[in-house]
Amino acid sequence: MSDQPDVRYLAVVQCDIVMERCSGYYCEQAFHHRSGGFAAYPADREYRTLYLTCGGCCGRALHRKLANLKHKAQANEGVAADQIVVQLASCITKESYHGPACPHLGYLRELIAKVGLQTCDDTHLSRPAIERRATGEYRA
């Protein structure tokens, strides 16, 4: 997964609804500092990154977006499918200030698998949300 030496490309998928009001700043910050869901990626290794949303409920657009990315990265730069990781943002994988985890998470995983890409969970993990998960205020 993320510690594989040949991973070259990270496609960070964020919730389309949440992105109506979020710039994605903390996702990028987490990648920059290799924290949260990016902690396993070596800081001294360069990765290409792409930030995109699921396209809106039910997330079906993600299939064609990722198929496009896979094709373009292969055709233009020789990036193989197993060198791409789809990183699901924390606003998709976990309950947070923005609301519950994505109700279509299983479907999103199915779509990503159908495109033939690997996936990792989480991006930015805020301290208050971690504490609320620990107390049970947030479910996951």
Positions that interact with ligand SF4 (CB under 6 A): 14-19, 22, 24-27, 54, 56-59, 89-92, 98, 102, 104, 123-124
Cβ neighbours around 68 below 10 Å, total: 12
74/109 with CB nearer ligand SF4: 109
Q: How far apart are CA 70 and CA 84, in angstroms?
A: 8
Q: Cis bond leading into 91, ω under 30°? A: no
Of the chain, the end-to-end C-alpha distance in Å amounts to 22
27/79 with CB nearer ligand SF4: 27
SS3 131: helix
Q: How far is the CB of 92 from ligand SF4 (least distance, A)?
A: 5
79/88 with CB nearer ligand SF4: 88
Rounded to 10°, the helix 105-115/61-77 angle is 30
Q: How far is the CB of 28 from ligand SF4 (least distance, A)?
A: 8
Q: How far is the CB of 77 from ligand SF4 (least distance, A)?
A: 26
Q: Cis bond leading into 120, ω under 30°? A: no
28/118 with CB nearer ligand SF4: 28
Q: How far is the CB of 6 from ligand SF4 (least distance, A)?
A: 26
